[in-house]
Each structure stands twice: as C-alpha cells, then as structure tokens.
Structure 1
Amino acid sequence: MPRYEMLNNVEHRDVRIRTQRNADTGDAVQYVVTFPLELRRAQAYYPIFFQKDASTGQFFPIILLGFEKGENLFLNDDGWEPPYVPMSVLRGPFLIGYQSNPESPDGRQAVITINMDSPLLTSAEDGQPLFLEHGGSSPYLENLTALLEDIQLGLEMNPPFVKALTDNDLIESVSMSITLNDGAERQLLGLYTINEDRLNELDETVVGVLHRSGHLQSIYMIMASHSHFRAMIDRRNALLPNEGTSLG
C-alpha cells in the first residue's frame, strides 16, 4: 500500500524526484486514467477507451498503453517514446489530498501529498529537488503544483462527461483480440468505447447540447484516437523475431 504524507519543506526538504521514465520507476502500466481536459493532446499518440469501476459501476476514460497487465508499449530503453507523456504519469508520486479547514466553504483544504514508498524518490544529485535551500518551492515543484491542479480539474470533468454519454446511450462494450507474429493471442476485455451508430442517430437538439457543453469534441477525440490501435500492435510485434500480425 502507498504511504502518503502531506508534503512540507521540513520533513521532505532533502527529497528529490527521478524524472527518467522507465519500468523500474513504475511506468510499466497497461493504462492510465485521462479526462476531457487532456483528450486533444492524448489522442494524437494513444488509443483512448473507457473502463468501468467494479465497485461503483461508473465509467472513466483511459489511455491504453499495453495489451496486458504491466505492459507499456510506449517505453523503450531511452525512456518514454512519444513526445507527449500523459498527465497521470507526469504526476509521479504526488496526489492532491485534503485536510480539515473550518474557514473554507466545504470545511477542507487541498494539499499536495507524496507517496514515500515510491521508487521515484531519491537523494541523488540527478534528482529534481522539491524545495530550495531556504525552504521555498523549486521550479519543479511549482510546475508540479500546476499539473496537479489541472489533473484535479480534469477529474472533476469526467462525471458530467460520462453522464452525458450514458444518458444518451453512447457507451458500448468492445472486445478485441489480436494474434501476434509468434502466434500468441491477446484478448482485451473490459473496454468500452463510443457507440458510433447511436451517435449518428441523435437528433439535432441533443447534438447541440453536447456541442455547447464541449462533450461532442471529446467524443470525436476518443473516436479519432482508435487509429493508434494498429500502431500499438506494430509496437508489440516489433519486440518479436517474426513479422506479421492479424486482428481477430
């Protein structure tokens, strides 16, 4: 279990963060969570689908990175290959947490928390410092704070986006199987995507509402992202000695 602590410039003054992307520091993941705020940038490089939370039944969008658990086809020996790294990856060992604050409208205050068990933590000089010598935030921490704020905003956009989709029956399950050039098969289950037939059947009034809310753009970003699925197969196939791939 991750061990999160509220970040402060006393207990964590000597903590540095590794920014190199590799499997040893936790980047070997099959998918990461995304949100409408990120879709325009993410769809240029990755396929985007939905998954369903088993405990709540709620859908959430994801960036697909591999065909099985622990597989990230966008990592190589030099780090992360595409020029755009998902925000959920860039946040590293940090999350937005909350502490009690009677003076705030909702009785709580957002704070930055750090996972003290993360392999990204280091004391080596090549790591990024969190604090300056006299306690102020480092440029890295300032950029991280802005990133976490954007992530928090993005996550808050997911429920209304998903509600608009489910209200209009626009999410459907999809199962895909691939056969790699060594004969191995991979089947992806538990993924959902946009129901294009249903989308095309919507009347102008509903389409107008989706457009004005910004949801229509997100829908098309997700649909466009699926063109990268073939490139993912090619990436996986490139790790094998023989050529040739087929979709099941």
Structure 2
Amino acid sequence: MSQAAEGPKIVTAAILVIGDEILSGRTKDKNIGYIAEYCTAIGIDVREVRVVPDLEDEIVTAVRALSARYDHVFSTGGIGPTHDDITADSMAKAFGVSIDHDPRAVAILTEHYGAASLNEARLRMARIPAGAALIDNPVSKAPGFTIGNVHVMAGVPVIMQAMLDAVTATIPTGTKMLSATVPASMGEGRIAAGLGAIQQDFPDVSIGSYPKMLDGGFATDIVLRSRDADRLAVAVRAVEELIASLLVTPR
C-alpha cells in the first residue's frame, strides 16, 4: 500500500530541558525554539516541552513519561564535567541500566585532551549508560548519547546544534507540516466567528490567529497548517474570502 493511501506519516517528539539555571532565570534558554523549528522543518512534530531541575528523581520521572508517550525525546543540559551534571546517571536509572566510563568516549576525550590532561572531571564526560549510542560532538568532542528513543545533548547552544544535526541524520522523520500565513488588517474580534466556521469545515487544517499592532491599530496574522497541500490551499482561500468580505462590511 502506498503512503498516500496510508495517509501522512506522523513522527512526534518532546523536548526535555534539564538545569536549575534555566528554572532560576539565570540562564535564558535558547534551545527550545531552535529544536522546535528544526524539527518542524524536517517533519517531526514537537508535542511537549518540559523543564526540570538537576534532581535525579525529577529527571527520571520526566524521561520515563516522555519516552513512553513520543517517538523521540530531545534532552539538553547536564552532561558536563561538574558535580551537578547528573543527566547521564539519571538516564541510566530511567532505563534501568548500568553506567561506567565508555571506552569509545574515553578514546575520544584522550585524543582531544591528551592522556596527561584527562583528569577526573573530564573523565566524567565519558560516563555513558550501558547500550547507548554516542552522538558526535565536532565542537568540543565530549559526546552526547542516545539511549532508547532519548537523545541526550549538551546545553550549550552551539554544541547542541551540532549534536542535533548528527542525531537527525540517523532517525526517521514524518510528512512535513506545511504552513501559510494570511494577514488581516483587523482585530481578532471581527474574524473570530468566521474563523470558527471555517475551522469546522476544515478539521484537518490547524487554524490559529495571532494578534499584533499595525500602524497604531489592531491586526491579526492567521496561520494555517496542514500536511495536505491541496487542503491547505482551499482553506487559505476560504480565509482570504472571509477577510475580503469583512473589509467591505461596516464594523
């Protein structure tokens, strides 16, 4: 049976951000938006985001819940050399496996730092849960890892982005979500009823309205999303016709 007959392929994901510094506001997260936009572009639907502190029980609970619910979990933060980097140990506990210095990771770090400079702190970054696959890190060399359907990456954005490239090159993706934006030079209140009716006619198209200020007045961007290009085009025309009719109708 062809994919067209089966319908679009949907691949889902969650983002798990680990770190007290994010929750305290000291560090402003730059990874969530990047991962979400990246996944949308390649055909992965991000359905949930969680931010948890550097507490083992919180990490384990989140990992188990998200990995059971979605096809992929993209985790960032907590795989560095310091005492509070507990992500690797927490992932091992979540999946019920042991953790130790991985010879592959040790070899990578030895080549990068040199044997004489590979101290105990740096060796912490070679502790990998049993059975995990390494994620390449071309920036600072300390690898991330994939265990089950959880991809564990660094929190530093430039490193995370390189790791995400490596991860997504190896995993299946789904049918891309297509998007179209229709601008309306009026507030949401004027178009709400009409949009509601259009949404009922197009249950397979996601329709959202986003207010903004334009030239000192209210305006709205209407964003339509669908995996079916033909249905998206028809829905866009319906929204455009709605707006045109409202423009010639007294307020």
Structure with bigger helix share is 2
Structure with more relative contact order (C-alpha pairs < 8 Å, separation 6 or more)? 1
CA radius of gyration, larger in: 2
TM-score (normalised: structure 1): 0.25
Give the alignment's TM-score, normalised by structure 2.
Answer: 0.25
